[in-house]
């Protein structure tokens, strides 16, 4: 209790939050809010929606900390909550103007290794991804990098599930074409 | 007491008596207490809790008049009015087992008729912050240490910034550091209010209270400043190299000298009296009996 | 693995959405596994304080939602039934609303109903036991020994009578329907099976009335004892038929008398209502 929360690991913080420790939540917020906000901005152009999703995320962490299994990476767990809260907020506002034109990614389609990614980010694959049409890039990003199901991706992007699947297929064909 | 202190008195007892069966717990007590911190000292069974319960409107006297914050406690509307400006920590405050500190204080805030939810939650946060429990306020109370539970109990008494604060043994079970923190907290939280607290700790009285009332056998035995209480033992505290076998009360102190309270032993020199010396002389016989039981 | 770290310029680009999609993806993948870079990003984001989202404002709103009392299942159920949240909070602490208590009521009622089915003697067990259940719930709902916050509650401006009646209502509203179900399941004809309803109310009001001079547990004990005694004494010894037929209490004139007792109890509570506003002295306690 008297332990300084800033010295605790993320996993320890989540365990303390499950016990109702408010200082631990504060520390987790300080550590994770900035990158979460930045990353969510790449998924949604509306700043109000992003702010609300971040807020929802930490409330959900507070309430759900007891359900965290303790296995796996806390950062990934928090991101999993955040991206789903973003979908939740969008659905709640029933405003489907979500994805900014700056949708990134597709790279983890090929490999999730960040080091490798660094190596190729200015190579052919990067060019291929950047060359994808915006709507295809968004689908690739939502399903592969953000780890959403096709249904969740459909909600995030405001398109039917079937469209997610067909766009995914088109994206694969284009990428393959660009790389060979 | 002059008229001006009477006019501002938070507590005014006039010939108050309370019996339980054949036992007279409080016997014809007349007392007026104004703003500041007043300590109530006395051995177990002296009637302190009964007196404090009457000061907290919890018990009605069998005879006599209890006036709090300028109003009588005899009729219901006036009593409700007093209760809105009163904070009370009972001797053994209990907690519902499923409550967090926040839930508990919020529950009391509902009892205190703070109906607007947002305002109530703000007030709950404020009092928990005053007692330094903000970071653990969502923990279940049973997960908290004894000292923290005491602070939770004190927090609920601070709801609504009461003008009268009645605390029954608030420092019982606190370790020395927590007692110091409590003194700090009380002296800031209670500024401008009438505070009455009972305690067994004469050091608390010396450190905190502007006034001390000693109760014994249902009656008031001393009423004045802590310095005055210590002064009762002036000229009656002695230090000697050996224990006088006929001494009423004597013990070996840290520096190897034997401290005697009462009659001077042979070859003794006078020592500076403390609050506890005066207290022991007042209620000595009972305290000695009690201690021989242990 | 994390020997390569992202530089400040790249972060600034990422925060301003001015990097290419592939770069953003690479940054994101790296962030997921690198605490140092997450901290670095936090500094960059902090430096651009007029940035997109005010993190202090968001934190304030998080706290607003976090710093709310947790609501128990009972409390949420009460709120769902349109009870005011304040009231729900006061009522939800009643022991007789705990799941364990309600389960006990179900078991006892089911046992009594089952006994009536097996036994040729009719539903006497149900009629005898049923009134004791709401009584027990009310006797444990308040008072110095069983309500841990009792003394603080008395010193608070909330009316003690109101609190007591709220909890009594809650006990009746949960226990009596369960008993009614048991009565419907039990064999037997018509209104005979509901002979426990009026006695239940009578015992509850008598308990409340007695608790103006003693602790509710003791009041409940006396009321319950009185009920059993009345069952034994008030019997038509020359009569025929089973226990229920011979008992004077379950005859129509007996039921009228029980209703009168309930009314007397209620009137006593009304005339002595100020007794709920100070501490109940359970004789002999300090």
SS3 of C146, please? coil
Bigger pLDDT: C69 vs C86: C86
The predicted structure's pLDDT at residue C79: 87
Interface ipTM > 0.95: no
How much is the average pLDDT of B134-161?
Answer: 90
Cβ distance C278 to B58 less than 8 Å, yes or no, reads yes
User: Position of tokens 């003394």?
Assistant: C151
pLDDT band at C51 (very low <50, low <70, confident <90, very high): low
Bigger pLDDT: B291 vs C148: C148
Query: What are the DSSP calls for A82-135, one per residue?
Result: HHHHHHHHHHHHT------TT----GGGT---HHHHHHHTTSHHHHHHHTS-HH
List of E strands, chain C:
none
What CA–CA distance (Å, rounded) separates C234 from C222?
A: 17
How much is the average pLDDT of C3-32?
Answer: 81
% chain A with pLDDT above 70 = 78
Contact A66/B at CB under 8 A: no
Cβ distance A35 to C38 less than 8 Å, yes or no, reads yes
Q: Which chain C residues touch A125 with a CB distance below 8 Å?
A: 22
Residue B2 is classified by DSSP as: -
Contact A106/C at CB under 8 A: yes
Q: Over 80: is that where the pLDDT of A37 sits?
A: yes
Looking at B56-60, C51-55, C183-187, which range is the least confident one? C51-55
Cβ distance A21 to B136 less than 8 Å, yes or no, reads yes
Interval B34-45: pLDDT, tens: 999 999 999 888
The predicted structure's pLDDT at residue A55: 94
Contact B112/C at CB under 8 A: yes
The predicted structure's pLDDT at residue A104: 37
Distances (CA, A) of B106 to A66, B90, B116, C128: 23, 18, 12, 41
pTM score, whole prediction: 0.80
Contact A21/B at CB under 8 A: yes
Cβ distance A105 to C24 less than 8 Å, yes or no, reads yes
In contact, A36 and A78? CB cutoff 8 Å: yes
The predicted structure's pLDDT at residue C17: 82
Q: Over 50: is that where the pLDDT of A121 sits?
A: no
Residues shown for chain A: 180
Cβ distance A114 to C29 less than 8 Å, yes or no, reads yes
The predicted structure's pLDDT at residue C232: 87
Contact C15/A at CB under 8 A: yes
In contact, C179 and C109? CB cutoff 8 Å: yes
The predicted structure's pLDDT at residue C1: 44
Contact B149/A at CB under 8 A: no
End-to-end Cα separation, chain B, in angstroms? 40
% chain B with pLDDT above 90 = 48
What CA–CA distance (Å, rounded) separates C113 from C109?
A: 6
The predicted structure's pLDDT at residue B2: 44
CB pairs under 8 A between B and C: 104
User: Position of tokens 């950047």?
Assistant: A130
C222-231 burial code (b ≥16 CB/10 A, e <16): bbbeebeebb
CA-based nearest distance A22→chain B, Å: 5
Strand partners, C110: none
Interval A130-170: pLDDT, tens: 778 888 888 887 877 777 888 888 888 888 888 888 888 88
Cβ distance B57 to C90 less than 8 Å, yes or no, reads no
CA-based nearest distance A19→chain B, Å: 6
Which of B222, B224, B233 minimizes the C-alpha distance to B277?
Answer: B233
pLDDT band at C125 (very low <50, low <70, confident <90, very high): confident
In contact, C149 and B152? CB cutoff 8 Å: no
Q: Over 70: is that where the pLDDT of B217 sits?
A: yes
B175-187 burial code (b ≥16 CB/10 A, e <16): eeebbebbbebbe
Contact B135/A at CB under 8 A: yes
Q: Over 70: is that where the pLDDT of C235 sits?
A: yes
Q: Which chain C residues touch B112 with a CB distance below 8 Å?
A: 156-158
In contact, C148 and B94? CB cutoff 8 Å: yes
Which of A25, A38, A80, A99 to mutate to test binding with chain C, by most C CBs within 10 Å of its CB?
Answer: A38
The predicted structure's pLDDT at residue A2: 47
Q: Over 60: is that where the pLDDT of C110 sits?
A: yes
Q: Cβ–Cβ contacts within 10 Å for residue A67, how many?
A: 7
Cβ distance C156 to B115 less than 8 Å, yes or no, reads no
Looking at B92-96, B260-264, B287-291, C38-42, which range is the least confident one? B287-291
Interval B231-244: pLDDT, tens: 888 888 888 888 88
Q: Over 70: is that where the pLDDT of A117 sits?
A: no
Chains that touch C (3 or more CB pairs under 8 A): A, B
CA-based nearest distance B23→chain C, Å: 9
pLDDT band at B249 (very low <50, low <70, confident <90, very high): confident
Residue of A nearest to C23 (CA): A121
Hey, what are A107's tokens? 């790279």
Contact A23/B at CB under 8 A: yes
Q: Over 80: is that where the pLDDT of B274 sits?
A: yes
Interval B75-99: pLDDT, tens: 889 999 999 999 999 998 888 878 8
How much is the average pLDDT of C102-115?
Answer: 87
Bigger pLDDT: C205 vs A143: C205
Cβ distance C28 to A39 less than 8 Å, yes or no, reads yes
Cβ distance C69 to B102 less than 8 Å, yes or no, reads yes
The predicted structure's pLDDT at residue B19: 92
Looking at B91-95, B164-168, B211-215, C258-262, which range is the least confident one? B91-95
CA-based nearest distance B140→chain A, Å: 8
Cβ distance A55 to C61 less than 8 Å, yes or no, reads yes
Q: Over 90: is that where the pLDDT of B267 sits?
A: no
Bigger pLDDT: A65 vs A174: A65
Q: Over 70: is that where the pLDDT of C9 sits?
A: yes
Q: Which chain B residues touch A21 with a CB distance below 8 Å?
A: 135-136, 138-139
Q: Over 60: is that where the pLDDT of B289 sits?
A: no
Residue C255 contacts by C-beta under 8 Å, 6 or more apart in sequence? C195, C198, C249
CA-based nearest distance C249→chain B, Å: 38
Q: Over 50: is that where the pLDDT of B157 sits?
A: yes
Cβ distance A105 to C25 less than 8 Å, yes or no, reads yes
Q: Which chain C residues touch A107 with a CB distance below 8 Å?
A: 22, 25-26, 29
Looking at A163-172, C168-177, C253-262, which range is the least confident one? A163-172
Residue C252 contacts by C-beta under 8 Å, 6 or more apart in sequence? none
Q: Which chain C residues touch A38 with a CB distance below 8 Å?
A: 14-15, 41, 45
Interval A78-100: pLDDT, tens: 998 999 899 888 877 765 444 44
CB pairs under 8 A between A and C: 139
How much is the average pLDDT of C235-242?
Answer: 77
How much is the average pLDDT of C151-163?
Answer: 93
């Amino acid at each position: 209790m008297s332990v300084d929360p800033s010295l605790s690991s993320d996993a320890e913080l989540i365990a303390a939050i499950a016990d109702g420790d408010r200082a631990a939540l504060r520390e987790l917020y300080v550590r994770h809010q900035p990158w979460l906000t930045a990353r969510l901005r790449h998924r949604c152009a509306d700043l109000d929606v992003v702010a609300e999703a971040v807020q929802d995320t930490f409330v959900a962490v507070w309430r759900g900390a007891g359900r965290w299994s303790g296995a796996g990476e806390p950062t990934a767990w928090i991101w999993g909550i955040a991206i789903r809260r973003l979908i939740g907020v969008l659905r709640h506002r029933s405003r489907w103007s979500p994805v900014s034109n700056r949708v990134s990614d597709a790279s983890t389609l090929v490999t999730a290794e960040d080091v490798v990614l660094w190596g190729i980010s200015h190579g052919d694959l990067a060019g291929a991804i950047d060359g994808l049409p915006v709507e295809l890039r968004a689908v690739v990003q939502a399903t592969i990098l953000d780890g959403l199901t096709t249904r969740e991706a459909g909600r995030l992007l405001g398109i039917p599930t079937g469209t997610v699947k067909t766009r995914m297929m088109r994206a694969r064909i284009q990428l393959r074409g660009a790389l060979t | 007491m002059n008229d001006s202190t009477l006019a501002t008195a938070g507590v005014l007892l006039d010939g108050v008596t309370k019996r339980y069966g054949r036992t007279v717990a409080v016997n014809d007590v007349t007392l007026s207490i104004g703003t500041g911190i007043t300590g109530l000292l006395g051995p177990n069974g002296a009637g302190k809790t009964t007196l404090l319960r009457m000061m907290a409107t919890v018990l009605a006297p069998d005879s006599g008049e209890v006036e709090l914050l300028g109003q009588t406690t005899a009729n219901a509307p006036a009593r409700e009015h007093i209760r809105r400006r009163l904070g009370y920590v009972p001797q053994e405050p209990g907690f519902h087992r499923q409550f967090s500190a926040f839930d508990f204080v919020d529950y009391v805030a509902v009892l205190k008729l703070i109906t607007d939810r947002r305002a109530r939650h703000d007030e709950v946060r404020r009092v928990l912050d005053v007692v330094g429990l903000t970071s653990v306020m969502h923990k279940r109370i049973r997960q908290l240490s004894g000292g923290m539970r005491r602070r939770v109990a004190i927090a609920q008494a601070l709801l609504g910034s009461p003008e009268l604060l009645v605390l029954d043994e608030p420092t019982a079970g606190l370790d020395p550091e927590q007692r110091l923190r409590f003194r700090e907290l009380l002296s800031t939280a209670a500024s401008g209010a009438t505070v009455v607290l009972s305690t067994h700790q004469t050091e608390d009285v010396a450190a905190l209270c502007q006034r001390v009332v000693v109760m014994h056998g249902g009656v008031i035995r001393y009423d004045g400043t802590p310095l005055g209480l210590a002064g009762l033992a002036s000229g009656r505290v002695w230090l000697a190299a050996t224990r006088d076998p006929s001494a009423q009360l004597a013990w070996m102190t840290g520096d190897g000298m034997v401290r005697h309270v009462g009659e001077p032993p042979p070859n003794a020199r006078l020592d500076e009296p403390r609050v506890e010396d005066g207290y022991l002389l007042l209620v000595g016989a009972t305290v000695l009996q009690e201690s021989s039981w242990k | 693995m994390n020997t390569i770290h992202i530089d400040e310029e790249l972060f600034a680009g990422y925060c301003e959405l001015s990097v290419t999609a592939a770069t953003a993806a690479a940054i994101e993948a790296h962030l997921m596994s690198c605490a140092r870079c997450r901290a670095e990003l936090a500094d960059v984001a902090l430096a651009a304080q007029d940035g997109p989202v005010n993190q202090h404002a968001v934190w304030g709103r998080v706290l607003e939602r976090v710093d709310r009392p947790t609501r128990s299942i009972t409390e949420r159920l009460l709120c769902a039934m349109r009870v005011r949240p304040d009231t729900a909070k006061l009522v939800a602490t009643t022991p007789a609303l705990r799941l364990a208590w309600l389960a006990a009521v179900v078991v006892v009622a089911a046992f009594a109903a089952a006994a009536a089915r097996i036994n040729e003697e009719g539903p006497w067990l149900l009629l005898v036991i049923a009134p004791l259940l709401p009584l027990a719930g009310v006797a444990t709902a308040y008072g110095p020994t069983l309500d841990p916050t009792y003394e603080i509650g008395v010193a608070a401006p909330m009316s003690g009578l109101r609190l007591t009646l709220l909890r009594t209502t809650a006990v009746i509203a949960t226990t009596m329907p369960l008993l009614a179900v048991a009565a419907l399941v039990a064999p037997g004809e018509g209104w005979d099976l509901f002979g426990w309803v009026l006695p239940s109310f009578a015992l509850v009001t008598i308990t409340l009335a007695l608790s103006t001079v003693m602790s509710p547990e003791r009041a409940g004990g006396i009321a319950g004892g009185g009920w059993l005694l009345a069952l034994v004494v008030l019997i038509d010894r020359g009569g025929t038929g089973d226990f229920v037929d011979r008992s004077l209490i379950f005859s129509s004139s007996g039921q009228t008398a029980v209703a009168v007792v309930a009314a007397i109890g209620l009137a006593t509570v009304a005339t002595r209502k100020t007794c709920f506003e100070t501490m109940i002295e359970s004789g002999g306690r300090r």
